[in-house]
Amino acid sequence: MFECCLSPQEQFIQDQLDGKENHLRNQSAHARAYRILDRISGLTPKVDVQRGRLFTESMRETEGQPLVLRWAKALMHVAKNIEVYIDEDQLLAGRAGAQGRYGILYPELDGDFLDVAIEQLSQREVSPFIVDPEDARIIVEEIAPYWKGKTYHEALAKALPEETLPLTYKPENVLESRYIVNETSSFRSSLQWVHDYEKVLKRGFGGIKKEAQEKLAALDPFSPNDNVQKKPFLEAIILVCDAIILWANRHAEEAARMALSETDPTRKSELEQIAQICRHVPEHPARNFREAMQSQWFTQMFSRLEQKTGTIISNGRMDQYLYPYYKADVEAGVLDEEQAIELFECMWVGMAQFIDLYLSPTGGAFNEGYAHWEAVTIGGQTPDGRDATNDLTYLLLRSKREFPLHYPDLAARIHARSPKRYLWEVAETIKQGSGFPKLINDEEVIPLHLSKGATFDEIYDYAVSGCAEIRMPNRDTYTSGCAYINYAAALEMALYGGRMLKYGDEVIGLPTAEPTRFATWDEFWEAYLAQQINLIKHAFVQQKIIIDLRSRHFATPLGSALHDLCMEHCTDLHQPKIEGGIDLGYFECIGYGTVVDSLATIKKLVFEEKKVGMSELLEALRTNFQGREDLRAMLRNCPSYGNNDPYADEIAKEIDRQSVEFTKKYAKEVGVHLDLRYVPFTSHVPFGKVVSATPNGRLAYTPLSDGSSASQGADVNGPTAILMSNFMSKNYDYRERAARLLNIKFTPGCVADDEGTEKLVSFIKTWCDLRLWHIQFNIINKETLLAAQKNPERYRNLIVRIAGYSAYFCDLSKDLQDDLIARTGHSQV
Ligand code: 8X3
């Protein structure tokens, strides 16, 4: 490695390269998890067909019955018949598939192209999977044929209006996305979600089942509603409670069976204990920390068997709902910090083995790097508004520092009164360099959601879910995958009369005038806005169809069992409307910085200073600046977003305002909030691949800017200027705003030592004062990224921050790697 200040992560990799021993791996808290990790590290995940096969078998038998009941029956069939495993060394039982790293199938979602996709999986450049030949046969002969003509994906493609379809898919092949107005519902049955785990820990599924039985007994036998809607719902809840309890008991049997033949007395006693615990939870309330962890783990793993959970079934506020169990056990002298960390890390390595498998090429392109990020939330405030940090908060931070794994994601809630120690340890953890934790700002989230209808206790108790979003587990009711809009495509359409170079002569957008006809900036701006609004319109049309359609294809009895409102109204969580719910839906602005900078450039150079003619600009763009490096340099020197420059930030604010204004007016018709978000996953890479050269000097088909971050390399005024641009471009007077993801890259040198930590803490406080929603950091030297790109085998363990998650750098496409390299690495806080 080169000579400069290294982050602890870089130092760790350097030590490995130098053959030095990792002293952490033998510590009592981490040794077990390292042993498990060693067995799976670097393995290409396998496809496990069991869930897909069993689910299909049951669905075939139950056609015509109420969907929620069919779903519960299918889960019971899975729970009874799926193989159960207890991993060597593991203390927690519960897998959704085969040993090693694995992905499972959800044919109800996209089984129509399962047979085609399965052939390509092992050949994929990014995130490949292994498919066993016998499993491939089962998929092609037994699973796929049943779903042809029945999947959600096909139904959606058929339901989209003629004008919306070409902005969504290639009309001749609905497997291929156009990357203009993307729906994301066809590659996940549910948007990121947080269960009310506390309910499971306190009542157990036995308690929830009892509640459903009582409600069932109290139904009005003459009521059509009770007979048609409530009865099958409650029967499904009872069945799904039985299913997860049965599944847990099968693990108990397996552990007991293994214990019988185990010769190592220590492991034998561990297996006996696992058997005892699995007999008790999740059926009954947890009696201690270990049972609480096991109960939570069974719940999240069974959720993955239930449905494709949209990359994330988040862990919620682990430092809050687990704390009473932790405290009681520590006080009773039956648990210490090291044992608690060991259990957490058993869970993290369990998560690292389940890989969210995307058959859809679009799903894959949006989630590079085997992405799934089951956010663990720490810190924040209690339901009555006091600081919530406790000993578990610090243990979870410590685990992230000492066990370098990119699962799960860690999210730290920050508020104006966050204690000094917490901010310090958060900054120290960020300085490790693997992107954890991301920060979410109570000062923005809480007042905003009060204005959206939440009560104080609900929103004070929010959990982070997804890249940057939040959930109130008993109040949120929106589960549809949201719409992603390519704002840079709107810009390109304004430049080419509704066309995009990638798609030839087809007028995909509005047929606005050729830009050489515009005499003033205002005329050009109006054309851009018309294109932007048109894309938003189609996103809303998509969502209206999706919300209704999904409820006919998906049900979630387990998710519903854990939701107060679903239980109160006997309505499945995937139904379009649940009384009393808050539907926090979203649409995304992708390519914000790219578009703002491009518009600022056109405004300044073409219309105000008239230094560049529109024809000259268009010619340079069409040829991807060939022979026009001079012009490109001039374009790149214009005012740009991320520099606290009002010239660019005012344009940014107006783009944002126009978007929130649209949702303010039309979201009611869709029936959900459908608010504006700037959260890209990795969509800015495939979206960039359809957008030709842009007037900010960006080369054709390269990544767009991500989230609400500045364009790659455009932020030259230091990191505080980025915060200010973000602040100045937000429309705080609209409640239709939602998450804004912000990526910042620092060199390790500028946050080195205690002085660096202090600077980072001050920076976080400024971010909190400005009521920005989210922020996350890469603390890394550019040279490390370049070296990893060149010699991936030496940097297998290098973790980087991407969207709301971290991943191994070497698992990413070259485009995304280049994007990370191109982001400005600030050397001054
Ligand atoms: C990641 C983005 O679309 O799943 O949080 O909410 S999404």
What pLDDT does residue 828 have?
82
Instruction: Return the structure tokens found at 296.
Output: 């939570």
pLDDT in tens, 600-621: 999 999 999 999 999 999 999 9
Residues 506 and 622 both lie in one domain: yes
**For residue 293, is it within any domain?**
no
Work out whether strand 483-486 and strand 586-590 pair parallel, antiparallel, or are unpaired: parallel
**For residue 287, is it within any domain?**
no
Q: Is the CB of 679 under 6 A from ligand 1?
A: yes
What pLDDT does residue 116 have?
86
Dihedral-angle region of residue 671 (phi above 0 means left; psi in -120 to 50 means alpha; beta otherwise): left
What pLDDT does residue 2 have?
56
Residues 323 and 470 both lie in one domain: yes
pLDDT in tens, 698-752: 999 999 999 999 999 999 999 999 999 999 999 999 999 999 999 999 999 999 9
Which residues make Cβ contacts (< 8 Å) with residue 582, sequence separation at least 6? 449, 452, 453, 454, 472, 475, 476, 477, 478, 673
Residues 461 and 495 both lie in one domain: no
- Mean pLDDT in the chain? 95
The pLDDT > 70 percentage for the chain reads 100
**For residue 569, is it within any domain?**
no
621-630: list long-range contacts, CB under 8 Å, 24+ apart: 621/495, 621/692, 621/693, 621/694, 621/695, 622/501, 622/692, 622/693, 624/692, 624/693, 624/699, 624/700, 625/693, 625/697, 625/699
Instruction: Return the structure tokens found at 264.
Output: 């190592």
SS3 532: helix
810 a catalytic residue: no
Q: Is the CB of 681 under 6 A from ligand 1?
A: yes
**For residue 116, is it within any domain?**
no
pLDDT in tens, 9-46: 999 999 989 999 888 898 999 999 999 999 999 899 99
Dihedral-angle region of residue 64 (phi above 0 means left; psi in -120 to 50 means alpha; beta otherwise): left
Residues 735 and 754 both lie in one domain: no
pLDDT in tens, 27-36: 999 999 999 9
β-strand partners of 779: 746
469 a catalytic residue: yes
What pLDDT does residue 108 have?
95
Closest CA to 704 of 729, 728, 678: 678
Residues 817 and 700 both lie in one domain: no
**For residue 572, is it within any domain?**
no
Name the residue range of residue 726's domain: 156-188+480-555+583-741
Residues 724 and 772 both lie in one domain: no
Gap from CA of 719 to ligand 1 centroid (Å):
25
Residues 684 and 667 both lie in one domain: yes
What pLDDT does residue 804 have?
80
Distance between CA atoms of residues 490 and 488, nearest Å: 5
Residues 589 and 503 both lie in one domain: yes
Q: Is the pLDDT of residue 110 over 90?
A: no
Residues 526 and 646 both lie in one domain: yes
Gap from CA of 569 to ligand 1 centroid (Å):
27
What pLDDT does residue 582 have?
96
Q: Which of 467, 482, 750, 810 is catalytic?
A: 467
Gap from CA of 73 to ligand 1 centroid (Å):
29
The domain boundary residue, chosen from 684, 718, 741 = 741
**For residue 792, is it within any domain?**
yes
Residues 715 and 609 both lie in one domain: yes
Residues 821 and 697 both lie in one domain: no
Closest CA to 312 of 197, 405, 189: 189
Q: Is the pLDDT of residue 492 over 90?
A: yes
Average pLDDT over residues 404-420: 95
Residues 377 and 444 both lie in one domain: yes
Q: Please state the three-class secondary structure of 10-63 as a single string.
A: HHHHHHHHCCCCCHHHHCCCCHHHHHHHHHHCCCCCEEECHHHHHHHHHHHHCC
DSSP class of 608: I
Amino acid (one-letter) located at 17: L
Q: Please state the three-class secondary structure of 550-606 as a single string.
A: HCCCCCCHHHHHCCHHHHHHCCCCCCCCCCCCECCCEEEEECHHHHHHHHHHHHHHH
The domain boundary residue, chosen from 741, 770, 788 = 741
What pLDDT does residue 3 have?
53
Atom of ligand 1 nearest to the CA of 311: 4
Average pLDDT over residues 430-446: 97
Between the two ends of the chain, the Cα-to-Cα distance in Å is: 24
Report CA-CA distances (Å) from 781 to 319, 746, 821, 822. Answer: 32, 8, 9, 12
Q: Is the CB of 750 under 6 A from ligand 1?
A: no
Q: Is the pLDDT of residue 425 over 60?
A: yes
Listed in sequence order, the DSSP H helices in 627-781 are 629-636, 646-670, 684-688, 719-729, 753-769
Average pLDDT over residues 310-323: 94
What pLDDT does residue 1 have?
53
**For residue 759, is it within any domain?**
yes
What pLDDT does residue 751 have?
96
Tally of domains in the chain? 2
What pLDDT does residue 21 have?
86
